[in-house]
Structure 1
Amino acid sequence: MDLVTSLLHAFPSTGEEWVDTLTGAPLRITVIIVLSFVGLYVANRLINRLTESIAEGRKRGPDFLSPLAAANPLNTARRAQRARTIGSVLRSSVALVIGAAAILMVLSEVGMNITPLIASAGVAGVALGFGAQSLVKDFLSGAFMLIEDQYGVGDIITVGSVTGTVEAIALRTTKVRDLDGTLWFIRNGEVLTVGNLTQGFSMTQVTIAVPAHQEVDEVRAALLAAGARVVSMDEFTDVITGETEVFGPETLDGKTVSFRVALKTSPAMQWAVARKLRGAIRQEFRDRSLTLA
C-alpha cells in the first residue's frame, strides 16, 4: 500500500499541476529535439543544393568555395568530386554541432549539471587529438587541398618520387596511377610538396643538338618554321596558346650545339604537341639540308 501511495504522489494530483508539468521540462525537451531535427534537415538541404549546383556548374557559391567554380567547366568529374567531398564534410560537421548542442540542452533540462561533462569532453578531445593526430592531420590536409584546388581528378602530379595521374581524392588519401600502371595510395598529411603538371597551362619543350659547324641563324630559322608548322595544325587550333620560342645556343662543346624550342599549351597537351613538334623539326631540317647531331 505504501508503494502505491508513493507512486500516486509522484504524479500531479490536480489539473493545474499537470499543466505545469507538461509545459515544463518535457515540453522544452520535445521542442529542443524537434528543432534539432528541423535544423539538421534544413542545413543538409541547403548544403546538398549548394554542392550539387557547384558540381553541375550552375552556381558559383560563397567566396570560401569559389575555387570549385573556378575549375575548368569541362572537367566535370573533378569539380563534382571536390564539391561533394566538401559537402560531406560540411554535413558531418553540422550534424556533430547540432547533435552535441541538443544533447547538452536536454541533459540540462532534466536537471543534470553539464559543467563537469563539458570539462570532461574537453579533456577527452585533447586526449583524442594526441592519439589520432596523424589521422586529423590527413583530414585537415585533404580538406585544405580540396578547397585550394592544388590538384584534382585527371591531373598529372609529382609527389615525392611518384609521378602519375590522379584517379581519386578523399579527405585522407589520394590515389595516383603512375606510367607503369601502379596505383599509389598517398596520405594527404604526408604531402609536403606537390607539382601539378596540368594546371592552368603547360609548356612543351624540345631540346635538340646540331653539329657545331651549323650556322646558328639557319638552325633558329628552321626551328621557328617547325614551330609555326605545328601551330598551324587544325588539331592544335585551341591547344597552343602562344608563339614559338627558340632558346640557344644553350650548350656548346667541340662537337655539338644545343637549342631548346618551347610552346605554351593547354593543360595536359604538352606531350602530344611535343611529338608533333619533333616530327616537324625533323622534316624542316630535311627540307633545309640541315643535320641533327
Structure 2
Amino acid sequence: MTNALTESLKKLFLGEETEKIGKFIFSEETWIHVGILAIRIAIIIAISIIAVQVGKYIIRKIFRIKLKGPIRKEERREQTLLKLLENTLSYVVYFSAILAILQEFNIDVKGLLAGAGVLGLAVGFGAQSLVKDVISGFFILFEDQFSVGDYVQIGTAEGMVEEIGLRTTKIKNFTGEIFILPNGTIAQVVNYSMKNSLAIVDVAIPFELGVEKVEKSIDAFLKSMSKNNPDLLGKPKLIGAHDFTEDSVIERIIAETRPMRHFDIARNISMGVKKHLEQEGIEIPYPTLVSKSFNNQ
C-alpha cells in the first residue's frame, strides 16, 4: 500500500518525463553502460599514449642506428627530421584516438569527416596565409635551408633554431627570447651554421719592436694553440701585413673554426697573443677582433 502511494505521488508531483529521467539515472543498467564506456575510453587513451611513446622510441632507435652507420646526412638535418617525425606521429595517433572515442558515443565519424572536408574547403579560401605557411615550411625542410640547432638571422630575429614546424619556426635568442615566425613570412635567411666559420684578429705591431721578430713569436704561439683544440680546424695563420698606421703595421690572423665558434676562438687568439708577447717582453696594444661574422664557403 505504501509503495503504491509513493508511485502515485511521484507521478503527481514529478510527472512522467521526470520519472523516466529518474529511472534512467538510477538504473543499474545505465551505470553499467557508463562504466563500460568509461573503461573503453580509458583503454583507447592508454593505447594511444603507449603507441606514441613506443613509436617515438622506435624512431629515435632508428636514428641512433643511422648515426652509427657509414652513410648518413648532416646531424643538424637528422635532428630536424627526428623532431618532425615525432610530432607527426603524435598528431596522427591522437587524432585517430579522438575519432575512436567519438565512435564510442555513436557519433557518425564518416559524416563528420565529410562535413569537415567541405568546411575545410570553404575555410581554405579564407586561410590563404595558413596554406602559404605550410607550403613554405615544406620547402624549408625539403631544401634544408636551416635545421634545428642552426644559428640563423631571419629579419630582426637572430638566434638558435629551437623548432621547425610546417606552419611556424621558433628561434631562441641568446638572452632567452623566443621568436615565433610564420613560415610564409620568411623571405631571407642568413644561416651561420652550414659551413665552417672564420675567426679574424688584427694585431698592431709598432715599427720600433721589429716586425719580423714579433711575427716569429706570434707564429710560434699559433702553432702551440692548434693542439688539443677541437674547435680549431687546422693551425691559425698569420697572413701578414693587412694595413698600416703612422707608427705600426696591422698584422692579420685568420683561423678556420667549427660553425659559430669563431667568436670564442678570436677572443682566445687575442688574449693568448697578448700574454705570449708580454712573457717575451714585447708590449703591444690589445689585438682587435673583427666583430663581423664570416663563414668559410
SS in structure 2 opposite 1:166? strand
> Following TM superposition, by how much is the alpha carbon of 1:129 offset from its aligned partner in structure 2, in angstroms?
5.4
CA distance in 2, matches of 1:87, 1:260: 52
Who wins on radius of gyration, i.e. which is larger?
2
Q: Which residue is equivalent to 1:14?
A: none
SS in structure 2 opposite 1:52? helix
Q: Which residue is equivalent to 1:29?
A: none
CA distance in 2, matches of 1:55, 1:149: 21
CA distance in 2, matches of 1:195, 1:280: 31
Q: How many residues align?
A: 214
Name the Cα RMSD after superposition. 4.1
> Following TM superposition, by how much is the alpha carbon of 1:70 offset from its aligned partner in structure 2, in angstroms?
0.6
> Following TM superposition, by how much is the alpha carbon of 1:231 offset from its aligned partner in structure 2, in angstroms?
0.7
- The verdict on how the C-alpha distance between 1:288 and 1:82 changes in structure 2, with shifts beyond 3 A counting, is farther
Q: Which of 240, 251, 257 is the aligned partner of 2:232?
A: 240
CA distance in 1, matches of 2:225, 2:250: 21
- The verdict on how the C-alpha distance between 1:139 and 1:290 changes in structure 2, with shifts beyond 3 A counting, is same
Q: Which of 251, 260, 266 is the aligned partner of 2:252?
A: 260
Q: Which residue is equivalent to 2:24?
A: none
Q: Assess if the C-alpha contact under 8 Å between 1:166 and 1:175 holds in 2.
A: yes
Q: Assess if the C-alpha contact under 8 Å between 1:55 and 1:80 holds in 2.
A: no
- The verdict on how the C-alpha distance between 1:79 and 1:201 changes in structure 2, with shifts beyond 3 A counting, is farther
Please tell me the residue identity of whatever aligns with 1:84: E
Q: Which segment is superposed worse, 172-181 or 78-87?
A: 78-87
Q: Which residue is equivalent to 1:71?
A: 74
SS in structure 2 opposite 1:251? strand
Please tell me the residue identity of whatever aligns with 2:172: R
Please tell me the residue identity of whatever aligns with 2:202: T
CA distance in 1, matches of 2:84, 2:264: 28
Q: Which residue is equivalent to 1:11?
A: none
Where structure 1 has 5 or more consecutive residues not aligned to the other structure, the ranges are 1-44, 61-65, 96-105, 108-120
Where structure 2 has 5 or more consecutive residues not aligned to the other structure, the ranges are 1-51, 97-109, 112-117, 287-297
SS in structure 2 opposite 1:70? coil
> Following TM superposition, by how much is the alpha carbon of 1:54 offset from its aligned partner in structure 2, in angstroms?
8.2
> Following TM superposition, by how much is the alpha carbon of 1:76 offset from its aligned partner in structure 2, in angstroms?
7.2
Q: Assess if the C-alpha contact under 8 Å between 2:205 and 2:211 holds in 1.
A: no
> Following TM superposition, by how much is the alpha carbon of 1:55 offset from its aligned partner in structure 2, in angstroms?
6.2
Q: Which residue is equivalent to 2:63?
A: 56
- The verdict on how the C-alpha distance between 1:212 and 1:219 changes in structure 2, with shifts beyond 3 A counting, is same
- The verdict on how the C-alpha distance between 1:70 and 1:288 changes in structure 2, with shifts beyond 3 A counting, is farther
Q: Assess if the C-alpha contact under 8 Å between 1:157 and 1:194 holds in 2.
A: yes
CA distance in 2, matches of 1:214, 1:194: 46
- 1:61-210 correspondence runs (5 A): 69-72=72-75, 77-84=79-86, 131-210=126-205
SS in structure 2 opposite 1:58? helix
Normalised by the length of structure 2, the TM-score is 0.56
CA distance in 2, matches of 1:185, 1:78: 17
Alignment of 1:218 with 2:210, yes or no, is: no
- The verdict on how the C-alpha distance between 1:223 and 1:142 changes in structure 2, with shifts beyond 3 A counting, is farther
> Following TM superposition, by how much is the alpha carbon of 1:257 offset from its aligned partner in structure 2, in angstroms?
3.2
CA distance in 1, matches of 2:88, 2:221: 46
SS in structure 1 opposite 2:59? helix
Normalised by the length of structure 1, the TM-score is 0.57
Please tell me the residue identity of whatever aligns with 1:253: T
> Following TM superposition, by how much is the alpha carbon of 1:88 offset from its aligned partner in structure 2, in angstroms?
7.5
Deviations 1:245-290 (A, max 9, x none): 2234223232443233222222343333233222221122212514
